[in-house]
Structure 1
Amino acid sequence: MFKLSHRLLTLQHLIENEYEHIWDCCCDHGHLGMSLLSKFAKVQSSPTIHFIDIVPTLMDDINAKLTRFYPQPDFHWQVHCGDVSQLPLAKTSKKQLVIIAGVGGELTQEFVTQILKQHQHQSIDFLLCPVNEPYHLRQSLIALDLSLKSEQIINDNKRYYEALLVTNDVQHSTPISAVGEQMWQTVSEQQQAINQAYLAKTIAHYQRVKHKSHDCDIASRYISIKATISL
């Protein structure tokens, strides 16, 4: 029916069956959420996959595809048309996953901030993959006192992305680094090449915009990664 991009396939692989509800936000055509329905189809107590976007025609199309290819009650899903910042999380004590991918870092930051503000007593993991400004997003996640579960650099169609799985679970104490830490560590030669290319591109970017930035140390922080971490 559809083929996942490498970026979405990587995100799918990062998602384990540990959630009661998974929210595919800004879901576009719903491919990631649909792939999760297939992934967990034969799993006992499979999660409910929620598709949410603000565009009514898009959600109508997703609802029609889900009804045709993922009929209920064999598959557990719900479709929501609305603002992600007003996400109607399920009232449960179990952990939920919120996926926000394909939008800018600033908007991602706004969504995460509002969701946490409105659901202060919920256990939430966030899988984030912004299209830009990951450094500033990371700074916001640190300020929100979130912790890191995993992170990875993705190269898809000559574009680079950072995928971050973070949590508000106080039992996880791994701090988030503004420039990343885990994601630079790999034994894969292919991933090493991706990391090197991404690091060089990121350093060049922040050196170009240095005069426009209030934080002139961003480029130097990435340069320090190059100097201290074996790629």
Structure 2
Amino acid sequence: MKLSPRLNAINQLITEPYTHIWDCCCDHGFLGAHLLQKGMAETVHFVDSVPSICQQLENKLARFSPPMQNLSSPQWQVHCADAATLKLADCAQQLVIIAGVGGELCSKLLAGLLEHNAPLDFDIIVCPVHEQFQLRQFLITKGLRLVSEQIVEDKQRYYEVLHLSRHAKQPLTSTGKMWDLKLAAHQHYLGKTIKHYQQRSRSITHPALQAYLKIQQDTPLT
């Protein structure tokens, strides 16, 4: 199945294979299945907390990608679990992906993951459906740094895709540095974001509103 623009943006960030990829809140498992087909990990883990989703996904994977007996580790595993409680593998080269949930839930899941896997170093890709500012602030407090960031338009909605690591060179900021206001999509997304915080806060002193207004004021359109 063809990936949506949002999922394909995540897919294109993964150019080198990992030992383990954890596709959390995987829903129908489209992204994880695509990464499995591309051979981007020794094991792709599909994680969701809904038992019916996990069972359907396991049946589908068993049908289209049956386990190969000559491998030392399984090509895929399905975990019916709260992603916040996951114990990752005790090895390097791991990637955790969280997409399709709000920034608040994403923060809670990552707080648990980081706490339960404190000695481990792993990459993270997040793509929240909203509350990007709050999520970015949380990520900054956890010492995560930026590999890359981008704005993706998908079915007239806008998403921020963040690739993160503790060892990346770029600092993460609360609003991002990926804005190009010569692009109509970026102008539209910024305008919608400002309007959201204007309606929500009723105060020009709201830190998120101030930060996004500053982008609008400081970024030339030509």
TM-score (norm 2): 0.91
**In 2, are the aligned partners of 1:17 and 1:47 still within 8 Å (CA)?**
no
Q: Tell me the residue number matched to 1:177.
A: 173
Shift of residue 38, structure 1, vs aligned partner: 1.7
Cα distance in structure 1, aligned partners of 2:203 and 2:86: 34
Percent identical residues: 44
Shift of residue 107, structure 1, vs aligned partner: 0.6
Shift of residue 230, structure 1, vs aligned partner: 4.1
Q: Tell me the residue number matched to 2:37.
A: 38
Cα distance in structure 1, aligned partners of 2:16 and 2:75: 14
Shift of the 230–48 alpha-carbon distance from structure 1 to 2, 3 Å rule, reads: farther
**Structure 2 regions of 5+ residues with no counterpart?**
none
Q: State which of 176, 186, 195 in structure 2 corresponds to 1:195.
A: 186
Matched AA of 1:144: K
Q: Tell me the residue number matched to 1:108.
A: 106
Q: Tell me the residue number matched to 1:222.
A: 212
Cα distance in structure 2, aligned partners of 1:217 and 1:116: 26
Matched AA of 2:172: I
Shift of residue 157, structure 1, vs aligned partner: 0.6
Shift of residue 16, structure 1, vs aligned partner: 2.3
Q: Tell me the residue number matched to 1:207.
A: 198
Q: Tell me the residue number matched to 1:165.
A: 163
DSSP 3-state at the match of 1:50: strand
Alignment of 1:130-141 (within 5 A): 130-141=128-139
Shift of residue 207, structure 1, vs aligned partner: 1.4
Cα distance in structure 1, aligned partners of 2:220 and 2:111: 34
Q: Tell me the residue number matched to 1:68.
A: 63
Cα distance in structure 2, aligned partners of 1:61 and 1:98: 22
Cα distance in structure 1, aligned partners of 2:213 and 2:153: 20
Cα shift readout 1:135-176 (whole Å, capped 9, x = no counterpart): 00000001111101111111111111111111123xx23111
DSSP 3-state at the match of 1:225: helix
Shift of the 79–195 alpha-carbon distance from structure 1 to 2, 3 Å rule, reads: same
Cα distance in structure 2, aligned partners of 1:82 and 1:72: 22
Cα shift readout 1:38-82 (whole Å, capped 9, x = no counterpart): 222xx7xx4311001111111111111111111222881111111
Q: Tell me the residue number matched to 1:29.
A: 28
Q: Tell me the residue number matched to 1:151.
A: 149
DSSP 3-state at the match of 1:184: coil
Shift of residue 185, structure 1, vs aligned partner: 4.6
TM-score (norm 1): 0.87
**In 1, are the aligned partners of 2:87 and 2:116 still within 8 Å (CA)?**
no
**Structure 1 regions of 5+ residues with no counterpart?**
none
Cα distance in structure 2, aligned partners of 1:193 and 1:47: 40
Shift of residue 228, structure 1, vs aligned partner: 2.3
Cα distance in structure 2, aligned partners of 1:47 and 1:17: 12
**In 2, are the aligned partners of 1:95 and 1:122 still within 8 Å (CA)?**
no
Alignment coverage as a number of residue pairs = 217
DSSP 3-state at the match of 1:20: strand
